[in-house]
Amino acid sequence: MLKVTCGLVGRLMRRIAWATGTMLIAGVALPVQAETLTIALSSSVNTLDPTQAQVVGTDVSVAAHLYSSLVARNADSKLVGVLAEKWYPEGDSTWVFDLKAGVTFADGEPLDASVVKWNIDRIRNPETKSRNRAWFDPVSGVEVVSPTQIKIHTKGAYPTLPDQLSMIFFLSPKWMESHNPANEVYGTGEFKLKEFVAGDRLVLVRNEAYKGVASPFDSVVFKIVPEPAARVAAISTGEADLAFDIPLEEVERLKGGGKTNAGWVASSRSMVVRMNTAKPPFSDNVKLRQAVNYAIDKQAIVDGLLGGLGTVSNCQIMTPAYFGYNADLKPYPYDPEKAKQLIAESGLVSGTQIELQVPMGRYFMASEISQVVAAQLQEVGLDAVIREYDFSSWVQPYSRGEMGAMSLMGQAWPTLDADGQLGLYASQNPTAYFKNADYDAALKAGRATNDPKDRLVHYKQATEIMCREAPVIFLFAQPFTYATSARIEWKARGDDWIRAADVVLK
C-alpha cells in the first residue's frame, strides 16, 4: 500500500515539477523591452488625482512624471523651471512667473497662463475640496498678464510660494469637463500612463509630445513592494533598479554585492523628543529642558542603533538641505554631570514621573530609540516612563494639544523651508507646545519679505532661540536608505522625491 501512495505522490510531484517548469518558461519568455526603469515604492499609490496628491514619496512623485509643475526641486535641492522659464518676486506681495511657450497637451491644447490660473483657482475653490487648499490660503488672486506670464498676488509676502508650487500640477480644463483625474491621466509630463494595477504597479511610457530633455528610459515602472525584505530581494534579483527604506543591516551587504549598490542619505526628517512646554514639569523650566538635551548621547544612538547611518542634529530641527539652516549651531554635548546639575537647579520635585509617548509604526526604530532615551534620562535621575501608542490613537490627542510630557516624533516640511518647518513651533499652531514671543516675531519677520538674504537673518535668530529654549531634545536626521541595481546610479536625495530624472543609466 505504501508503494501505491508513494507512486501517487511521485507522480504528483512530477506533475507539479512539470507545471512549474512550463510556468517558468512563460515567466522568462517576456519580450525584452527597450530601457525600462523599475522603481520599488514602499507604500501604495493612493490617488492619481494630482490636486489631491499629498504624499511626496508616492502620489506626488508619480504625478510629477505624468504632469508638469511650474517649478521642480532637483536632487541638489535647487528649484529649476519646468513650465516656468523664470520666476521672481515683484514687491512683497506678488510673484511673477514667465512661462515657456509651446507646451501643449496631447490634443494640441496649449498649457498657457490661463490654464495655470484655472488650475490654481480650482484648488483655491472650496467646492473642489482639494486637500491642499491650505497652501494657497495666503494667495489673494491670480492674474494672467499674457499667455506666457502670470502674476500670483498674495496677502503680504509669501516667500515659499515657488517651493509650494513644485507640488502643484496642471490639468487640462477642457479634458476635465468630461473626465475624472482620479481614474485617468492626461498631462504634459515626461511620461504617460500605460497601465495601473491597483496595489501592484504603474507602468509609464515615454510621452512623445514632451518637449523637454528626453529621459534615457522608454518606460518607468513603479512597483509597490511594502515589505522591506521583499525590496531587498527585488534589488538582489534585478527585478527592481531602485528601492528605498532598506533595512540598515542590508545596506552594507548590498553595497559590497557587486551586482547591487546601496547607501543612505540624511533625510529631511528630524527626529526629536518633543516636550510639552505648556504643562509641568517642562513649562517655564528651560533648565530642565536643557538638562535632558545634555543627558542624551545622540552620537551613541546613531552609532549604536543606526550603525552610524545618521547625522546628529545641530541643535535645530533642520538639515543643511533646508533654506534657513543655521550652520553656526552645535549640538548639546553629552554631559550627564551637567545634566544632573541643571536638574538640581531646575527645582524638579524628585520622583516626578515623566511620560515619554512613542507613536508606533510611523518613525524608524521608534521603539529602540525611545528605550535608549528613557534609559539615559533615568541615568541622570529622571523617572522617564515609556508609553507606546498606535499612531492613530496618538495623533488625536496630539493634534488637540493634549500631548503628554514628552513624545518621540519626526518632523519634516515638504518645501524644505524654515518657514514651514520652524512654523510647527509657532505659538498660534495648535500643536506647537511652545510659546515664545521672540521666536514668533522672528518667524513673522521671515515671512514678511520675499528677500532670501533678509529672511536668513530672521531664521538665524529663530533657530538660536529654539536651540537655547530647547522645546525638544534634538536627536538626529533620520537616515533614508536606498539600494540600486548595478546598471543605474541614483542621485540620492533625502526629501522623499522620487524621479526618473535623478537616475543615470550606466
Partner 1 sequence: MSRYFLIRIGQSLLAIWGIVTIVFVVTRMLGDPAVLLLPLGTPDSQIQELRSSLGLERPMVVQYLDFLGHAVVGDFGLSYQSFRPAMEVVLERMPATAILTASSLALGAVLGAATGFAAALARGRFLEFVVMCFALAGQATPVFWLGILLVLFFAVELGWFPTGGWDGPASLVLPTMALGIFVAANITRLFRSSMIETLSEDYIRTARAKGLMPRTIFMVHAARNALIPVVTMLALLAAELLGGSAVTETVFSWPGVGRLLVQAIDSKDFPVIQAGVFLIATIFVCINFLVDLLYTLLDPRIRLGR
Residues 342-371, one symbol each (x = binds partner 1 by CB under 8 A, - = not), give: -------------------x----------
Contact 359, 389 (CB under 8 A): yes
Kindly tell me which of 137 and 143 has the beta carbon lying closer to partner 1. Answer: 137
Q: Is 230 in the site for partner 1 (CB under 8 A)?
A: yes
Q: Is 424 in the site for partner 1 (CB under 8 A)?
A: yes
Counts for the chain of helices (H) and strands (E), in that order: 15, 19
Distance CA 457, CA 453 (A): 7
Q: CA separation (Å) from 79 to 163, 318, 497?
A: 7, 18, 13
Kindly tell me which of 378 and 428 has the beta carbon lying closer to partner 1. Answer: 428
Sign of CA dihedral 414, 419, 422, 427: negative
Kindly tell me which of 182 and 344 has the beta carbon lying closer to partner 1. Answer: 182
451 CB contacts (<8 Å, ≥6 apart)? 89
Q: Is 486 in the site for partner 1 (CB under 8 A)?
A: no
Distance CA 333, CA 114 (A): 55
Q: Please identify which residue in 137, 252, 328, 368 interacts with partner 1, judged by CB under 8 A.
A: 137
Nearest CA to 166 out of 275, 68, 295 is that of 68
Count residues contacting partner 1 (CB under 8 A)? 62
- Strand arrangement of the beta sheet that strand 84-89 belongs to: 84-89, 94-99, 149-154, 139-146
Q: Which alpha helices (H) appear in 362-495, and where do they start and end?
A: 366-379, 391-399, 418-423, 437-447, 452-469
Kindly tell me which of 195 and 345 has the beta carbon lying closer to partner 1. Answer: 195
Q: CA separation (Å) from 202 to 66, 357, 503?
A: 11, 38, 18
Helix (H) or strand (E) holding 117: helix 113-124
Kindly tell me which of 38 and 290 has the beta carbon lying closer to partner 1. Answer: 38
- Kindly report the length of the chain: 506
**Considering the complex, what minimum distance in angstroms separates the CB of residue 411 from partner 1?**
8
Q: What are phi and psi of 291, to 5 degrees?
A: -55, -45
Q: Is 478 in the site for partner 1 (CB under 8 A)?
A: no
Q: Are strands 406-411 and 353-360 parallel, antiparallel or unpaired?
A: parallel
Kindly tell me which of 80 and 197 has the beta carbon lying closer to partner 1. Answer: 197
Kindly tell me which of 354 and 366 has the beta carbon lying closer to partner 1. Answer: 366
**Considering the complex, what minimum distance in angstroms separates the CB of residue 47 from partner 1?**
5
Q: Please identify which residue in 146, 183, 352, 378 interacts with partner 1, judged by CB under 8 A.
A: 183
**Considering the complex, what minimum distance in angstroms separates the CB of residue 179 from partner 1?**
13
Kindly tell me which of 64 and 380 has the beta carbon lying closer to partner 1. Answer: 64
Q: Please identify which residue in 85, 429, 452, 486 interacts with partner 1, judged by CB under 8 A.
A: 429
Distance CA 253, CA 1 (A): 51
185 CB contacts (<8 Å, ≥6 apart)? 48, 66, 67, 192, 193
Q: Please identify which residue in 68, 77, 94, 132 interacts with partner 1, judged by CB under 8 A.
A: 132
**Considering the complex, what minimum distance in angstroms separates the CB of residue 16 from partner 1?**
8
Kindly tell me which of 159 and 281 has the beta carbon lying closer to partner 1. Answer: 159
The interface with partner 1 within residues 10-49 (CB under 8 A) comprises 12, 20, 23-24, 26-28, 30, 43-44, 46-47, 49
Q: Is 310 in the site for partner 1 (CB under 8 A)?
A: no
The interface with partner 1 within residues 389-418 (CB under 8 A) comprises 391-393, 395-396, 399, 413-414
Q: Please identify which residue in 80, 145, 197, 486 interacts with partner 1, judged by CB under 8 A.
A: 197
**Adjacent-strand bridge partners of 204:** 193, 220
End-to-end CA distance of the chain: 62
**With CB under 8 A as the contact rule, which of the stretches 78-86, 87-95, 123-131, 435-443 interacts with partner 1?**
123-131
- Residue located via cell numbers 530581494: 233
**Considering the complex, what minimum distance in angstroms separates the CB of residue 396 from partner 1?**
5
498 by Cβ neighbours in 10 Å (0-12 / 13-18 / 19+) ranks as buried
Q: What are phi and psi of 257, to 5 degrees?
A: -70, -25
**Considering the complex, what minimum distance in angstroms separates the CB of residue 80 from partner 1?**
23
Residue 323 DSSP one-character state: B
Q: Please identify which residue in 35, 92, 121, 239 interacts with partner 1, judged by CB under 8 A.
A: 239
**Considering the complex, what minimum distance in angstroms separates the CB of residue 308 from partner 1?**
26
Q: How many CB atoms lie within 10 A of CB 213?
A: 8
Q: Which residues bind partner 1 (CB under 8 A)?
A: 1-2, 4-5, 8-9, 12, 20, 23-24, 26-28, 30, 43-44, 46-47, 49, 52, 54, 126, 129, 131-135, 137, 182-183, 197-201, 223-227, 229-230, 233-234, 236-237, 239, 361, 391-393, 395-396, 399, 413-414, 420, 423-424, 429-430
